[in-house]
Chain A
């Protein structure tokens, strides 16, 4: 079969097992050593698992939930499910019982493949609520010896069973599969309401993977580190879609705590991270530079200042004078090289960030030291890719031009619509939502408001369409626009701005414990808890100056100058997915927060100086508790805008 005739992930697996038989398909660090699966071995393992699943009674079109951290066996289990004609449904590994129960019940999962005791326990806890769940397969059997094994087996046992099974049934099922067969079902993180099951076909995944791999010239010899949640569409595209289509190697970290170390050892050539990861890395670098000797500090800062001017130009292939070129090379040797090596980014040829806006400072930092960091815009319903930045058209304030094969249009309301080969089939068992999101011609509403820059054709995203509102005086209200500006300060971890329908905006801020904690240490400020640090007068003073700076910058925008923050408070707890204040992909759930902290918002508007509040929190093991605090309401400096000035003059 030629490559163009390949339509499904299992077909690509066959191709890779022949064409790249001896090259690495998966690697995982275990027992301190990188263990490797070649494509040939991966295929053998996957087929045994698929046969085992069939022998265990999985039928075509049934759902198999997969839950755990990134491990080769779990990726292989997903492909095995596909081979057996079933549909893999990866779940977020930190999801709590209720969330798992909802998803398993919604897709009527027949099998669950769980990584370890922790995940098995969560499934067993809700098992009674899920009709039709027949079998639980686990990867790591530790602590599970005493469990009732009548409807549970280890992955090894499943594989063992597959080894002696007749493969005729597997071949028959595989022969039926086409590009239209469902490849995977992924649940949206659900910023509003219940998560929805997005059904993606093999055509969706394969075509999108092909287009995006060609776009960035991905090669069979590339290396990626799989460390983002398996339930997230991006990880599915990078670690299964593009990995299968291109044949590159997927590396899995040893544990969630060793990711940075494993990153350094692997040195991926293709790397994706959400802005928050880049931000944490930069914060750590800066904190460590503060501890360095005077000479090193001076060397670093002078090299960085020069790199800020030259680095991005070099990346874009622009003309740079010989002197600058040489100086950059020298700095590369002395500063950036070792720095990139420490960060594990020495070999990155293609780097992406997405999910949230990335601060220009942050973006420029990575590009100046020679990392080809770009932005993309996508969503689950599009099999990720809607727009991407070309190598020499990278900017921090746009998300690039449409990925090959994608059509874009902007509705009169400002909402972005797209149509692409990756467009999802449907929301599982939810025809109303499908119909309201995808029209009969295949145009999908992204839910984001944005516009296309005329000069460059780049897409710019303003905010979630449903969050964009009007203030009392009719001025445009775009909370994210302001929140992003706030979050660009390393001390601010999260921000939530309110103001729709009101005459002025107010904000909640979350401090970044790493950055603020380090600052506190340097300034001899003692604190016993997050809450105490967050309420420290000097922290609040710093926040006040940041808010003032943001207001100044917001005031410069004609359309959005009304969104300046008049009052704010620093929250006494970190917004958390366990408390349903954020999604599992770390996006704030505005409505929930608004309802939960109504007393605080009221306090910000009615002019009180402080408000006493009690907040329920959920611990990791599901128990609940409450924290009490008296929060200070702070007035922020606001820049008078032209409209207001005229009003005042009248």
Chain B
């Protein structure tokens, strides 16, 4: 039975019912069990963090959600129905967008063109019409450009609009990647270490953007992050993974006082 109850957070946001429900997921690569029988859910409008030490299986989990990996066992329930195995582009069409841990942008293309690729799902005119800038293709490009410009404005990257991505510093590339994901107007946004390798100021900026995205567009966000301070400040609920297992799940305060989590982070001997 799906939970459809809505709650209101202390800061006045509404958290809706379950959007994505992961049930007993197990993922293996050959003999290696990357994810061991994990279940958790993501509710509409919340910021859900997945944390854990290196190699805990966090990115694999995100790849399961985005449809890039198909788990050997378990089911992914999306909006109240089990989701059949899908190609990543089909998952994207369902309103799930993501960013990558090691930035995956088109280095030679401008920021604008990169962000435009996030709109591909909204374009239906064929290659030939697009090449000739003719009829529906022209109209579509104008509409989509407008949507992209709103994202550029939102993430304050106007000054680098025409700059090739390859020339940008790391922190800005991360922001461009977020822009591309946002351009798809996702319902569920998956962020794989959005703050890795950033300095304090860049982290503060990125945190503000994540909160603003959630607040302005009501986008549900699932994020993986190493910076504990950031995770605890941003998220509504946190899943903690260690060696492919789930060792904690709850609000930041609950997770912080969980002995298993403390052990995993401070390090104890594994049998």
The answer to whether A and B assemble together is: yes
Identify the A interface with B (CB < 8 A).
29-33, 142-143, 145-146, 254-255, 257-258, 261, 621
Q: A31-B149, A32-B152 known; A255 and B159 CB under 8 Å?
A: yes
Alpha-carbon separation in the docked complex, A145 to B38 (Å): 36
Do A257 and B159 touch across chains, with their CB atoms under 8 A apart?
A: yes
Q: Assess the B158–A255 pair: CB atoms within 8 A.
A: yes
CB distance from B256 to the nearest CB of A (A): 24
In contact, A143 and B215 (Cβ under 8 angstroms)? yes
Q: Is B79 an interface residue (CB 8 A)?
A: no
Give A33 to B158 CA distance when docked, in angstroms: 11
* B107 contacts the other chain (CB 8 A): no
* B153 at interface by CB-CB < 8 Å: yes
User: How far does the alpha carbon of A5 sit from the alpha carbon of B127 in the complex, in Å?
Assistant: 63
Q: Considering the chains assembled together, what is the distance between the CA atoms of A8 and B215 in angstroms?
A: 43
Among A142, A145, A146, A258, point to the contact of B158 (Cβ < 8 A): A258
Q: Shortest beta-carbon distance, B248 to chain A, in Å?
A: 28
A-B CB pair tally, cutoff 8 Å: 38
Q: Which B residues touch A261, using CB under 8 A?
A: 159
**B28, CB-defined interface residue at 8 Å:** no
Task: Pull 27 A–B residue pairs with CB atoms less than 8 Å apart, ordered by A.
Answer: A30-B153, A31-B149, A31-B150, A31-B153, A32-B145, A32-B152, A32-B158, A33-B149, A142-B212, A142-B216, A143-B208, A143-B212, A143-B215, A143-B216, A146-B11, A146-B12, A146-B13, A146-B215, A254-B158, A254-B159, A255-B156, A255-B159, A257-B158, A257-B159, A258-B158, A261-B159, A621-B204
B215 (CB) vs chain A CBs: closest residue: A145
Q: For the complex, give the distance between the alpha carbons of A560 and B218 in Å.
A: 67
Mask for B1-26, Cβ within 8 A of A = 1, else 0?
00000000001110000000000000
**How many angstroms between the C-alpha atoms of A425 and B216 in the bound complex?**
46
9 additional A-B residue pairs with CB within 8 Å, beyond A146-B11, A146-B13: A31-B149, A32-B145, A32-B152, A33-B149, A142-B212, A143-B216, A254-B159, A255-B156, A258-B159
For residues 137 through 153 of chain B, which have their beta carbon under 8 Å from a beta carbon of chain A? 145-146, 149-150, 152-153
Interface membership of B154, Cβ < 8 A: yes
Please provide the chain B residues from 22 to 70 with a CB less than 8 Å away from any CB of chain A in the complex: none
Contact between B156 and A145 (Cβ–Cβ < 8 Å)? no
Q: In the assembled complex, which residues on chain B have CB atoms less than 8 Å from the CB atom of A143?
A: 208, 211-212, 215-216
- Nearest 3 interchain pairs by C-beta: A257-B159, A31-B149, A146-B12
Complex: chain B residue closest to A31, CB-CB? B149
- In the bound complex, how far is the Cα of B149 from the Cα of A32, in angstroms? 6
Instruction: Give the distance to chain B from A142, nearest Cβ to Cβ, in Å.
Output: 6
Residues of B within 8 A of A30 (CB): 153
Alpha-carbon distance A254/B152, docked complex (angstroms): 11
Q: Bound state CA distance, A30 and B146, in angstroms?
A: 11
| Complex contacts, A254 vs chain B, CB 8 Å | 158-159
Q: Contacts A142-B154, A142-B212, A146-B12 known; A32 to B159 CB distance under 8 Å?
A: no
As a 0/1 sequence over residues 200 to 236 of chain B, the CB contacts with chain A under 8 angstroms (1 = contact) are 0000100010011001100000000000000000000
B168 to chain A, nearest CB (A): 13
Q: A31 contacts B212, CB within 8 Å? A: no
Contact between A145 and B11, CB atoms less than 8 A apart: no
B161 at the binding interface (Cβ < 8 Å): yes
Give bound CA distance, A145 to B208, whole Å.
14
A143 to B158, CA, bound (A): 19
Give Cα A543–Cα B158 distance, bound, in whole angstroms. 38
Chain B residues within 8 Å of A142, by CB: 154, 212, 216
Chain A residue at minimum C-beta to C-beta distance from B13: A146
Q: Is the interface of B mostly helix, strand, loop or mixed?
A: helix
Q: Are A145 and B146 in contact (CB under 8 A)?
A: no
CB neighbours (8 Å) of B150 from chain A are 31
Point out the residues of chain A lying under 8 angstroms from B11, CB to CB. Answer: 146
Q: How far is the CA of A258 from the CA of B163 in the complex (A)?
A: 12
A261 to B159, CA, bound (A): 8
What A residues does B154 contact at CB under 8 A?
142
Chain A residues whose C-beta falls within 8 Å of the C-beta of B12 in the assembled complex: 146
Count of B interface residues, CB-CB < 8 Å: 20
Considering the complex, give the chain B residue whose CB is closest to the CB of A143: B212
Rounded to whole Å, the gap between the CB of A115 and the closest CB of chain B is 13
The docked-state distance in angstroms from the alpha carbon of A146 to that of B13 is 8
Instruction: Write out the residue numbers on chain B whose beta carbons fall within 8 Å of the beta carbon of A33.
Output: 149
Residue of B nearest to A144 (CB): B215
Q: How far is the CA of A142 from the CA of B156 in the complex (A)?
A: 12
Which partner residue on chain B sits nearest A621 by CB separation? B204
- Give the docked Cα–Cα distance between A31 and B150 (Å): 6
A535 to chain B, nearest CB (A): 23
Residue among B11, B204, B215 with the highest chain A CB neighbour number at 10 A: B215
Question: Which B residues from 72 to 90 make CB contacts under 8 A with A?
Answer: none
Determine the chain A residues whose CB is within 8 A of the CB of B159 once the complex forms: 254-255, 257-258, 261
Q: A146-B12, A255-B158 are in contact. Are A31 and B146 (CB under 8 A)?
A: yes
Give the shortest distance, in Å, between B199 (CB) and chain A (any CB).
Answer: 13
A32 to B154 alpha-carbon distance, docked (Å): 12
Q: For residue A124, give the distance in angstroms from its CB to the closest CB of chain B.
A: 15
Roughly how many angstroms separate A145 CA and B161 CA in the complex, as a whole number? 28
Cα distance A254–B11 when bound, in Å? 32
The complex places the Cα of A142 from the Cα of B208 at a distance, in Å, of: 11
State the CA gap A35–B98 with chains docked (Å). Answer: 32
Could you tell me the distance in whole angstroms from the C-beta of A344 to the nearest C-beta in chain B? 15
Q: Chain B contacts of A146 at CB under 8 A? A: 11-13, 215
User: Contacts A142-B216, A143-B212, A146-B13: A32 and B161 contacting too (C-beta < 8 A)?
Assistant: yes
Question: CB-CB < 8 A to A621: which residues of B?
Answer: 204
A30 to B149, CA, bound (A): 8
List the A side residues contacting B215 at CB < 8 Å. Answer: 143, 145-146
Q: Give chain A residues whose Cβ lies under 8 Å from the Cβ of B13.
A: 146
Residue from A31, A145, A255, A261 with most neighbouring chain B CB atoms (10 Å):
A31
Q: Smallest CB-CB separation from B154: which chain A residue?
A: A142
Cβ–Cβ < 8 Å partners of B156 in chain A: 255
Bound together, the chains give a CA A258 to CA B208 distance in angstroms of: 21
Q: Which residue of A lies closest to B12 (CB)?
A: A146
- Residues of B within 8 Å of A32, CB to CB, are 145, 149, 152, 158, 161
Contact partners of B212 in chain A: CB under 8 A = 142-143
The distance from the CB of A384 to the nearest CB of chain B, in whole angstroms, is 30
A257 to B245, CA, bound (A): 46
Separation of A146 and B14 alpha carbons in the complex (Å): 11
Q: Which residues of B contact A257 (CB under 8 A)?
A: 158-159
Contacts of A255 in B (CB 8 A): 156, 158-159
Report the bound CA distance from A142 to B212 in whole Å: 7
Give bound CA distance, A32 to B13, whole Å. Answer: 31
The complex places the Cα of A143 from the Cα of B213 at a distance, in Å, of 9
User: Whole-angstrom distance between the alpha carbons of A143 and B210 in the complex?
Assistant: 11
CA distance A261 to B204 in the complex (A): 27
Within 8 Å CB of A145, what residues of B? 215-216
Residues of A near B208 (CB, < 8 A) are 143
A637 to chain B, nearest CB (A): 41
CA distance A258 to B215 in the complex (A): 27
**Nearest neighbor of B150 in chain A, beta-carbon distance:** A31
Complex CA distance for A146 and B12, rounded to whole angstroms: 6
Residues of chain B from 90 to 132 with CB closer than 8 A to chain A in the complex: none
Query: Which of B150, B152, B154, B158 has the most C-beta atoms of chain A within 10 angstroms of its own C-beta?
Result: B158
**Could you tell me the distance in whole angstroms from the C-beta of B127 to the nearest C-beta in chain A?**
25
Question: Smallest distance from the beta carbon of A10 to chain B beta carbons, Å?
Answer: 32
B38–chain A nearest beta-carbon distance, Å: 33
A549 to chain B, nearest CB (A): 37
How many Å from the CB of A475 to the closest CB on chain B?
Answer: 47
Q: How far is the CA of A273 from the CA of B156 in the complex (A)?
A: 25
Q: In the docked arrangement, what's the CA distance between A145 and B153, Å?
A: 18
Tell me the complex Cα distance, A350–B34, Å. 69
Chain B residues in 8 Å Cβ range of A31 = 146, 149-150, 152-153
A146 to B211, CA, bound (A): 12
List the A side residues contacting B161 at CB < 8 Å. 32
Query: In the assembly, what is the distance between CA of A261 and CA of B160, in Å?
Result: 10
Shortest CB distance B216–A (Å): 6
Nearest CB on B from A31, distance (A): 4
- For the complex, give the distance between the alpha carbons of A146 and B158 in Å: 26
Query: Please, which residues of chain A bring their CB within 8 A of the CB of B204?
Result: 621
